[in-house]
Structure 1
Amino acid sequence: MTGATGRLGGRVARLLAERGVPQRLAVRSPARAPELPGAEPVACAYDRPDQVRAALDGVDTVLMVSGSETPDRVAQHLCFIDAAAAAGVRRLVYVSFFGASPTATFTLARDHWDTEEHLRASGLTPVVLRDNFYLDFLPELVEDDGVIRGPAGTGRVAAVAQDDIAEAAAAVLLEPRGHDGATYDLTGPEALTLDEAAGIIARRTGRAVTFRNQTLEEAYASRAGQAPDWQLDAWVSTYTAIAAGELDGPTDDVRTLTGHHPRSLDDLLAGGAPVEDRT
């Protein structure tokens, strides 16, 4: 298990611990790893092949949560994959991104494509989980004045709850052999415009929330000086990818893996449990 100190990886680790699955938590800072029954934290930075090989020695299956957003993230991913192969790992489950491709509008989706391609050429057996944008992130787009701003237009995004991604990943890890070589597109049950998302957030929170479309120039100007250029491109392209229709298209993959329908934005904000699939 990687990423156990983060929001997504931590969810997966807790789900496995609840099922009594022994796991090795490969994390950069073992002192920050969650204390879970049957879990052993070990030091492992993606760009330290010696640590990776030691952490993964004797491990058959690894969940690789994508690393922090940095300019050298792809290089770190490739280093980890190569070291995992050298350690004798057989199967690597990679948390990628919906619509990953070399020409994706969302700049970081191109990083995921490069990682996927290297994984497929590594000799490891790949399982790829391509999650859409986090549903949990949509309320965080609301600025202090109650406005979501970005050049998303009327495009739609099939955002998915982190809990649903974690449950899908845990399902794969519990019975990994049945998923060898598979790629899953993890989405929510619906594709929303940001105007529709703003309406749901407003209704559930009792706060006045609206969406205001920006031009590309306005988007960059409003964020100027807040981050390096590569990160500004990533931020702005989260919206332009929605506008381009590249985040649309709900799938049944969460239901297929977990046995329940994925949470909607309304479900998430209401704090409701997922609806079991009884078909």
Structure 2
Amino acid sequence: MTRTLTVTGSTGEVGGRVARALAADGVAPRLIVRDASRAPELPGSDVRVAEYADHDAAVAALRGTDVLFMVSAGESEDRVEQHRCFIDAAVRANVEQIVYTSFAAASDDATFTLGRDHWATEEILRESGLSFTLLRDSFYLDMFELFAGQDRVIRGPAGDGQVAAVARADVARVAVAVLQDAVTHRNITYTLTGPQSLTLEEIAATLTEVRGEPFRYLDETLAEAHESRAVYGAPDWQVAAWISTYTSIASGVLAAVTDDVERVTGTAPMTLEQLLRTGA
């Protein structure tokens, strides 16, 4: 029996990789997007338009879905309520299972403030009655070069804390494997990390070696972190989230390395050097 796999976030990095990989394997995914003009053109794909917060549109878009890949919504103050609305729509649409991109250190009091949103969403899923698979991703390995900015300095109060960051490509590979054999992975939580636990100083050193340009890590105090980010004029909740990226690394909760990527996919996750050299 053909099962309908529905993918959200296909206009983004992780969802896009998942959608393209499914299509390459001969699976025609249903894509739920906010803007149909931005949806990737994939053989046989069924594009539906809905937002997480639009309950009726989401129910219509989800109807007939067996397994849903739910990429967390963009950072916002009401993200949990958006997730609640979409999960309720999935219940109404008789979706069987949701595969959700969560956070490695999700908890109700997570140091990384957005990790609390992920915990709240996990709780909504647990209470929904739906089957689910939680992909608890560490921070994305791809992002640290972007954190450096044009001056090639990574700034933040992470101290000598370590992070076992994971490549987005590896998260996508896990998601594809789970979606294609969803029953096997039903009601299981995976913590997805890279193969190394690195300090930001070590990350900067690897960037320097591979890029041939000097990168460095500047350990900030909390006051300095607030001051260096004031120029962006972002709301307080967002600044707190940015800074807590670093304080969560400092806390040590993201240092553990797991073998979940390799257990699910059969292939070890990429190191930072491999990611930078291959551009995967």
What band does the TM-score fall into relative to the shorter chain? over 0.9
CA apart distance, 1:225: 4.4
User: What's the counterpart of residue 271 of structure 1?
Assistant: 278
Within 5 Å, which residues of 2 pair with 1:68-147? 68-147=74-153
Q: Does 1:247 align with 2:254?
A: yes
Gaps of at least 5 residues in structure 1 are 274-279
Contact residue 26 and residue 41 of structure 1 kept, 8 A: yes
Instruction: Give, as a single letter, the amino acid of the residue that structure 1 aligns with 2:139.
Output: F
Q: Does 1:185 align with 2:191?
A: yes
**d(CA) in 2 for partners of 1:267 and 1:146?**
20
Q: Which of 163, 166, 171 is equivalent to 2:169?
A: 163
Q: Which of 206, 209, 216 is equivalent to 2:212?
A: 206
Q: Which of 143, 153, 157 is equivalent to 1:151?
A: 157
**d(CA) in 2 for partners of 1:258 and 1:100?**
23
CA apart distance, 1:38: 2.0
Contact residue 28 and residue 42 of structure 2 kept, 8 A: no
**d(CA) in 1 for partners of 2:62 and 2:213?**
48
Contact residue 138 and residue 254 of structure 2 kept, 8 A: yes
Contact residue 96 and residue 131 of structure 2 kept, 8 A: yes
Q: Does 1:257 align with 2:240?
A: no
Identity %: 53
**d(CA) in 1 for partners of 2:60 and 2:196?**
42
Contact residue 20 and residue 38 of structure 1 kept, 8 A: no
**d(CA) in 2 for partners of 1:145 and 1:134?**
21
CA apart distance, 1:143: 2.6
**1:161-205 deviation per Cα after TM superposition (whole angstroms, max 9, x unaligned):** 000000000000011000000000000000100000000000000
**d(CA) in 1 for partners of 2:152 and 2:82?**
37
Q: Does 1:236 align with 2:238?
A: no
**d(CA) in 2 for partners of 1:48 and 1:254?**
33
**d(CA) in 1 for partners of 2:114 and 2:77?**
10
Instruction: Give, as a single letter, the amino acid of the residue that structure 2 aligns with 1:266.
Output: E
CA apart distance, 1:145: 2.1
- Which stretch of structure 1 is more off in the superposition, 137-146 or 230-239? 137-146
Is the alpha carbon distance of 1:24 and 1:272 closer, same or farther for their aligned partners in structure 2, counting shifts above 3 Å? closer
**1:44-91 deviation per Cα after TM superposition (whole angstroms, max 9, x unaligned):** 100001111111111111000000111111100000000100111011
Contact residue 100 and residue 113 of structure 1 kept, 8 A: yes
**d(CA) in 2 for partners of 1:3 and 1:223?**
28
How many residue pairs match? The answer is: 273
Q: Does 1:50 align with 2:56?
A: yes
RMSD over aligned Cα, in angstroms? Answer: 0.9
Q: TM-score, normalised by structure 1?
A: 0.96
Instruction: Give, as a single letter, the amino acid of the residue that structure 2 aligns with 1:265.
Output: L
User: What's the counterpart of residue 276 of structure 1?
Assistant: none
Instruction: Give, as a single letter, the amino acid of the residue that structure 1 aligns with 2:244.
Output: S
Q: TM-score, normalised by structure 2?
A: 0.96
CA apart distance, 1:144: 2.2
**d(CA) in 1 for partners of 2:145 and 2:191?**
22
User: What's the counterpart of residue 71 of structure 2?
Assistant: 65
CA apart distance, 1:126: 1.1
